Amino acid sequence: MKVVHIITALTDGGAEGVLYRLCKFDTQTEHVVISMMDENKYGPLLKKEGIKVHCLNMQQGKVSLSGLIRLFKLLLQQRPDVVQTWMYHADLIGGLIAKFAGVKNVYWNVRRTNLEKENSKRSRFFVTKACALVSSWIPKKIIYCARRAKIVHEGFGYAVEKGKVIGNGCDTSLFYPFDVSRKQLTANMQFDSSVFLIGFVGRYAPEKDHSNLFDALSILKSKDVAFHCLLVGQGVDQSNSKLLSLLQSTELKEQVSLLGQINDIPVVLNCLDLHVLPSSSEGFPNVLVEAMACGTPCVSTDVGDAALIVGEMGWLIPPKDPQALAISILQAIEEKQNNKCGWFHRKRICRNRVIDNFSVNQMIKGYYQTWLNSE
């Protein structure tokens, strides 16, 4: 089978990472990737794995006639069995061009769960609306990253009969439990390395709700609970004045370290005692799967498919409820301190749950069966 993927961009994002893992680990299929923009982060990585990458070099938010003509010619040249599009602009534009090029098997991929007009870019909102209008015609199937995404988009007008949920697959050969010295990560930080270490890996964005986490940590501090929290991700550093102001107002400067972007996330997750996801909105939160694959238990707000991922081996609390978040973190601290056998059992089951349900092999199987069985 030959699959041509059309994606809006190859930047450092969740959809791009899933596409990369799918192409890298699927040995049954010939994959070709077309980026509507440039190579960015994942283009060279895909090429390193022997995947052919073509770039249309369109500017962000702008569709060029030359780019559309090149896409049409590429599809005629490649003659794919399947065209798999990724993200709204590629779903709409790539899907239409694929249809005009005579490709019968077109599949869309939807990565978001939040479609509120006030929280979306204007262009994205209108492209999504256009996708809804043609969703019964262009794609054979619409692949959603999460059940919540399927519900939201079908409520928005996407064809109900075409929906299919395939969770993001985790590379368990990269994310796994291993011994690591905390000093490797925290050498320049002023705190006791033996203290209970909390972490949140996620970019700075309103839906990530860092204020929810800070309010919960303030409650723990008021109870004289010993902890330290590491924040990792794009925009989570000393240059973020809003985040620094929030730290100042909650008086958590000594308890929280801002590390910004770090390439070796498995090292971070293996250093942590507990990963916390305080978000107000998510689709399929990859970081929960990655943390659990490293044997790191998680506390998460009940957003997107967090409940499906965490199961009974973590703590789920309502969004925007710092009191409940603080209580759950405290329960985790007490279990680690007072029930070591129970804590190690929890860590082991976390990884087993990922292997059984959210590995990259499970994801590949889902895509492959969808491509084959949708006649």
Evaluate if residue 115 carries a pLDDT over 80: no
Based on the fold, state whether residues 197 and 340 are members of the same structural domain: yes
HSE-up (13 A, CA, CB side) for residue 142? 30
CB count within 10 Å of CB 141 equals 21
How many helices (H) does the chain have, and how many strands (E)? 16, 13
Q: Is residue 248 part of a domain?
A: yes
What distance in Å separates the CA atoms of residue 209 and residue 207, rounded to the nearest whole number? 5
Q: Is residue 174 part of a domain?
A: no
HSE-up (13 A, CA, CB side) for residue 206? 4
Confidence category of residue 187, pLDDT binned at 50, 70, 90:
low
Q: Is residue 254 part of a domain?
A: yes
Evaluate if residue 62 carries a pLDDT over 90: no
Based on the fold, state whether residues 194 and 321 are members of the same structural domain: yes
Compute the mean pLDDT over every residue in the chain, rounded to the nearest whole number.
93
Based on the fold, state whether residues 220 and 136 are members of the same structural domain: no
Spatial CB neighbours of 375, under 8 Å, sequence gap ≥ 6: none
Cα distances (Å, whole numbers) of residue 175 to 153, 170, 184, 260, 321 = 31, 8, 18, 20, 30
Q: Give the dihedral sign, CA 224/225/226/228.
A: negative
User: Taking a C-beta distance cutoff of 8 angstroms, is the pair 82, 2 a contact?
Assistant: yes
Spatial CB neighbours of 275, under 8 Å, sequence gap ≥ 6: 198, 199, 200, 201, 269, 287, 288, 291, 296, 297, 298, 299
Domain residues for the domain of 163 are 2-169+359-372
- Give φ, ψ of 33 to 5 degrees: -115, 130
Burial 214-244 (b: 16+ CB within 10 A, else e): bbbbbbbbeeebebbbbbbbebbbeebeebe
How many angstroms separate the most distant Cα atoms in the chain?
66
Q: Is residue 177 part of a domain?
A: no
Based on the fold, state whether residues 304 and 363 are members of the same structural domain: no
Indicate which CATH number applies to the domain containing 309. Answer: 3.40.50.2000
Question: Which of 129, 187, 122 has the alpha carbon at shortest distance from 155?
Answer: 129
Q: How many domains does the chain have?
A: 2
What distance in Å separates the CA atoms of residue 237 and residue 226, rounded to the nearest whole number? 23
The DSSP-derived string for 169-217 is PB-TTTS------THHHHTT--S-TTS-EEEEE----GGG-HHHHHHHH
Q: Is residue 59 part of a domain?
A: yes
Per-residue pLDDT tens over the stretch 268-324: 999 999 999 999 988 889 899 999 999 999 999 999 899 999 988 899 999 999 999
Based on the fold, state whether residues 62 and 136 are members of the same structural domain: yes
Q: Is residue 178 part of a domain?
A: no
pTM given for the model: 0.82
Q: What percent of the chain has pLDDT over 90?
A: 80
User: Taking a C-beta distance cutoff of 8 angstroms, is the pair 52, 33 a contact?
Assistant: yes
Q: Could you tell me the strand order of the sheet in which 2-7 lies?
A: 52-55, 30-35, 2-7, 82-86, 106-110, 141-144, 163-165
Based on the fold, state whether residues 218 and 82 are members of the same structural domain: no
Rg of the chain's alpha carbons, rounded to an integer? 22
User: Taking a C-beta distance cutoff of 8 angstroms, is the pair 149, 113 a contact?
Assistant: yes
CB count within 10 Å of CB 260 equals 15
What is the three-class DSSP state of 226?
A: coil
Based on the fold, state whether residues 75 and 146 are members of the same structural domain: yes
Per-residue pLDDT tens over the stretch 319-361: 999 999 999 999 999 999 999 999 999 999 999 999 999 999 9
pLDDT (mean) for 191-197: 83
Spatial CB neighbours of 362, under 8 Å, sequence gap ≥ 6: 167, 169
Strand partners, 230: 199, 257
Based on the fold, state whether residues 22 and 160 are members of the same structural domain: yes
Based on the fold, state whether residues 199 and 160 are members of the same structural domain: no
Confidence category of residue 120, pLDDT binned at 50, 70, 90:
low
Q: Is residue 63 part of a domain?
A: yes
Q: Is residue 270 part of a domain?
A: yes
Based on the fold, state whether residues 279 and 209 are members of the same structural domain: yes
Based on the fold, state whether residues 238 and 351 are members of the same structural domain: yes
What is the separation, in whole angstroms, between the first and last Cα of the chain? 15
Confidence category of residue 116, pLDDT binned at 50, 70, 90:
low
Least confident of 12-16, 103-107, 126-130, 175-179: 12-16
Based on the fold, state whether residues 146 and 39 are members of the same structural domain: yes
Residue 350's pLDDT is what?
Answer: 97
